[in-house]
């Protein structure tokens, strides 16, 4: 049973999509329980993203860190590792820069945080039209009855239902780092994300495999910790075959700690 309300570092990945990042940061500041710090894991965005973040930093009630790396292609694994290294808190929640947060998102993640597990929260898929309404500030909140939602049940937040349906598993099905929580010490144990991954895909599944191999279980959070996914075209999958091979090797070889990972960066002790 959970006995600790872990202090939280919220890590948000981004790349050259300021209007989405703006909505995500605003939702993070609109939490019933604020994270203890926020880190933007920037995979090489242009200066306009830096200016956006700087504007938020001026009035931020919490530490807001911009972790940037050179744009050398899709390197989400390295971007996340650099942010994890800079995180000063015990518990890390990572989301993508297209995930707008329910007002109780941080509170819910803290409630489900436990040692010896990591968490995967639900994602509500928004249509292009509904996403545009959010960008144009014509929608301030999402509910079960909002138009343009593909998986409507994920909009339901219920303390009772989350107790009944949130379960532990070791399944890889549906692993997504767009809404994931884990202890920093566990990320250090497996050496973070594997930076052999370049291009879209599988780096989050492989990260989860090594957590499983280290003895952790996955908790699927249901009806809590809701994130709303803003519409965008799908990323290219040209590197997927190579990334699948790395994933399969970690599964078959029962790898816990990757060689090309977190220890390349200056990790702050939380």
For the stretch 33-79, pLDDT in tens is 999 999 999 999 999 999 999 999 999 999 999 999 999 988 999 99
Please state, in angstroms and rounded to a whole number, the distance separating the CA atoms of residues 10 and 72: 24
In a domain? residue 50:
yes
In a domain? residue 177:
yes
At 2 the pLDDT is: 43
At 16 the pLDDT is: 96
As beta bridge partners, residue 41 has 13, 67
Domain that holds residue 62: 8-160+171-187+222-233
Tokens found for residue 210: 């090594």
Per-chain mean pLDDT for the chain: 94
In a domain? residue 19:
yes
Stated pTM of the model: 0.95
**Cβ atoms 44, 70 nearer than 8 A:** yes
Q: What is the pLDDT along the chain (270 residues), one digit of tens a residue?
A: 444 589 999 999 999 999 999 999 999 999 999 999 999 999 999 999 999 999 999 999 999 999 999 999 889 999 999 999 999 999 999 999 999 999 999 999 999 999 999 999 999 999 999 999 999 988 888 999 999 998 999 999 999 999 999 999 999 988 888 999 999 999 999 999 999 998 777 899 999 999 999 999 999 999 999 999 999 887 666 677 888 999 999 999 999 999 999 999 999 876
In a domain? residue 246:
no
In a domain? residue 205:
no
Q: How many helices (H) and strands (E) does the chain have?
A: 9, 11
At 5 the pLDDT is: 81
Q: What's the domain count of the chain?
A: 1
Q: What is the CATH number of the domain that holds 92?
A: 3.90.550.10
As beta bridge partners, residue 10 has 38, 93
In a domain? residue 217:
no
* Nearest CA-CA partner of 243 in 210, 191, 209, 194: 194
- Give the helix/strand (H/E) hosting 248: helix 240-252
* Nearest CA-CA partner of 152 in 119, 122, 107, 129: 122
Please state, in angstroms and rounded to a whole number, the distance separating the CA atoms of residues 133 and 142: 11
Please state, in angstroms and rounded to a whole number, the distance separating the CA atoms of residues 151 and 65: 33
In a domain? residue 115:
yes
In a domain? residue 78:
yes
């Amino acid at each position: 049973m959970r006995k600790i309300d872990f202090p939280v570092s919220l890590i948000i990945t981004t790349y050259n999509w300021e209007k989405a990042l703006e909505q995500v940061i605003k939702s993070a500041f609109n939490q019933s329980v604020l994270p203890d710090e926020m880190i933007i894991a920037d995979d090489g965005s242009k200066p306009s993203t830096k200016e956006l973040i700087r504007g938020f930093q001026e009035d931020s009630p919490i530490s807001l860190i911009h972790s940037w790396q050179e744009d050398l292609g899709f390197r989400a694994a390295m971007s996340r590792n650099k942010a994890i290294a800079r995180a000063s808190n015990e518990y890390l929640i990572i989301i993508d820069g297209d995930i707008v947060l329910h007002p109780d998102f941080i509170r819910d993640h803290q409630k489900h945080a436990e040692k010896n597990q990591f968490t995967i929260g639900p994602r509500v898929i928004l249509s292009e039209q509904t996403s545009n309404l959010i960008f144009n500030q014509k929608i301030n909140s999402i509910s079960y009855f909002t138009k343009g939602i593909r998986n409507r049940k994920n909009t339901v937040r219920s303390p009772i239902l989350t107790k009944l349906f949130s379960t532990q598993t070791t399944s890889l099905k549906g692993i997504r780092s767009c809404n994931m929580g884990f202890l920093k010490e566990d990320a250090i144990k497996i050496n973070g994300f594997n930076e052999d991954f370049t291009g879209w895909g599988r780096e989050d599944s492989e990260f989860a495999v090594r957590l499983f191999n280290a003895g952790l279980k996955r908790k699927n959070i249901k009806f809590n910790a809701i994130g709303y996914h803003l519409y965008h075209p799908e990323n290219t999958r040209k590197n997927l075959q190579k990334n699948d091979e790395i994933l399969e090797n970690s599964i078959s070889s029962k790898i816990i700690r990757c060689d090309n990972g977190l220890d390349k960066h200056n990790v702050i002790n939380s």
